[in-house]
Amino acid sequence: MSKRFFIIASLTIAMVLFAACGGATPAEEAAPAEEAAAEEAAPAEEAESATDEWGYIVIPAGEKVVVGVSSALTAGYAAYGQDMLNGVTVAIQDFGDLKGWEVAVEGNDDQCEGAPGVTVAEQFSANPYLLGVVGPMCSGTVVPASAIYGENKVLMVTPSSTAVKVTAQGYENIFRIVANDDLQAEVAVDYLMNELGVQTLGIVHDQSIYGEGIALAVQSKFEADGGTVTGFEGLTRGDQDFSAVISTILEGNPDAVYWGGMDAEGALLVNQLRGAGFEGVFFGPDGIKSIPSFVEASGGAAEGAFMTFGAVGGATGYDEFEAKFTEQFGAPVAYGPGSYDAAMIILNAADAVATVDEDGNLVIPKKTLADQVRATPHSGITGYLEFDENGDLKVVSITVFKAENGDLVPVKVYDFGQ
């Protein structure tokens, strides 16, 4: 009896772990999005009103208008997620009232994962006073969650999700204000080959939609440009020991290692790479553009590392934003300024289309709101933001940063679409 119980208990625990470690595979996560996209093609029959086919957001007097933030607020990637929430908080302070209605920010923790992000999307979609959502932060969250936002016609502006797929699903209510991973990979490969003279590259990724996606893009571009990829390995998010993967990658003796993934594992990876005697270039995407959670968390090993990042502040109004932000929360990490712009885009569009009806309710037509966002260029603190028909920016730039003396210094700017 006791032996049988013991075996069953052990197997159960092992299975729970498999489920927890594996997460949903990209194929599983992508499936609901595609289904929803198919439904999307059919005419929206459930539209209640003749004037706005997506319906209305109706907010009675005395209630607050809510701007949602979906990002990682706990565990490994919380530095990024908290930065986004802080950026939106400052935007709401700057914007003030929306036609006399108080605006509140509501941050929900999506853990940078698919399943929790879908739950957050369902919670936000069920909130009748929700104006729109800033985020989700990660592509692995956006891809499954966008099916929910798409179905419920919730305005979604992500300042940080870079996977190509995000805006390629045909949703009219989904926008992005950062360059996608194809461009990031192009910049990374160009900088590696032409500025750093790298000929051989080892690639490590974190098996997420984001990390593996950009790793594959870098691999194909690097090989197309005549370089040699000496190794391509995946590791598990949340793990701490990458020594075995590192030994395998270093076997190919690459000039540089490209990391497709986030800050928490990136800091450990660069630390353990240096600990294994690797002296070449370490290069990563926007997921490691963070001083507290990458540069400082690496115990000094990140010195000299490079990364690409799209949403650099510095346009008109940035200095005021930075002062205000720093006073309350400390220096912005990465996507704080982008989140400020995303919230401002949502709030300005709402201000342009909102009306007050006879009963004293604030009424916002949903489709008109999304159309307003698409049609109106915005002068943000991260630059000039104008959307194309997919919800991507027409003009973007990507900056290459280098870690020097515990700081991140811009070394080269690439412009696209001008």
Pairing of strands 306-309, 281-284: parallel
Stretch that binds another protein, among 31-39, 137-145, 273-281, 383-391 (CB under 8 A): 273-281
By CB under 8 A, the count of residues binding another protein is: 51
CB of 32 to another protein, least distance (A): 24
Q: Rule CB under 8 A: is residue 79 a binding residue for another protein?
A: yes
Stretch that binds another protein, among 16-24, 330-338, 352-360, 382-390 (CB under 8 A): 16-24
CB 69 within 8 A of CB 135: yes
Q: 69 vs 235, which CB is nearer to another protein?
A: 235
40 interacts with another protein by CB under 8 A? no
- Three-class SS state of 267: helix
**105 or 235: whose CB is closer to another protein?**
235
64, 83, 283, 304, 413 from 301: Cα distances, Å: 46, 24, 13, 8, 25
Task: State how far the Cα of 190 lies from the Cα of 197, in Å rounded to an integer.
Answer: 10
Taking the least distance from each CB to another protein, the nearer of 78 and 157 is 78
Kindly tell me which residue out of 93, 220, 228, 240 binds another protein, with binding defined by CB under 8 A: 240
Q: Is 415 in the site for another protein (CB under 8 A)?
A: no
Q: Which of 66, 69, 78, 174 binds another protein (CB under 8 A)?
A: 78
362 touches 174 (CB < 8 A): no
Using DSSP's 3-state secondary structure scheme, residue 170 falls into coil
DSSP for 404-415, please give it. ETTEEEEEEEEE
Q: Where are the alpha helices (DSSP H) in 152-240?
A: 181-190, 209-224
Quote the CA–CA distance of 38 and 147 in Å, as a whole number: 10
Is residue 220 part of the contact set for another protein (CB under 8 A)?
no
For position 239 contacting another protein by CB under 8 A, the verdict is yes
Q: How many residues does the chain have?
A: 418
**Is the Cβ–Cβ distance between 167 and 223 less than 8 Å?**
no
Q: What are the beta bridge partners of residue 258? A: 203, 283
Site string for another protein, 56-75 (x = CB under 8 A): -----------------xxx
Count how many Cα atoms sit within 13 Å of the Cα of residue 41 in the half-sphere of its side chain. 6
The pair of structure tokens assigned to 307 is: 């990364």
Q: Which whole-number Å values give the CA distances from 244 to 29, 247, 272, 294, 339, in the listed order? A: 28, 5, 10, 21, 37
d(CA 410, CA 380): 20
The verdict on 276 binding another protein (CB under 8 A) reads: yes
Q: Does 279 bind another protein (CB under 8 A)?
A: no
The DSSP symbol for 101 reads B
Q: Note whether 50 binds another protein by CB under 8 A.
A: no
Q: Is residue 27 part of the contact set for another protein (CB under 8 A)?
A: no
Contact stretch for another protein (CB under 8 A) within 18-26, 38-46, 144-152, 160-168: 18-26
Binding pattern for the stretch 243-262 against another protein, x by CB under 8 A and - elsewhere: xxx-xx--x-----------
Site for another protein in 170-209 (CB under 8 A): 207
By CB under 8 A, the residues from 301 to 340 that bind another protein are 301
Query: Residues in the site for another protein, rule: CB under 8 A?
Result: 2-3, 5-7, 9-11, 13-14, 17-18, 20-21, 73-76, 78-79, 82, 207, 233-236, 238-241, 243-245, 247-248, 251, 264, 267-268, 271, 274-277, 293, 296-301
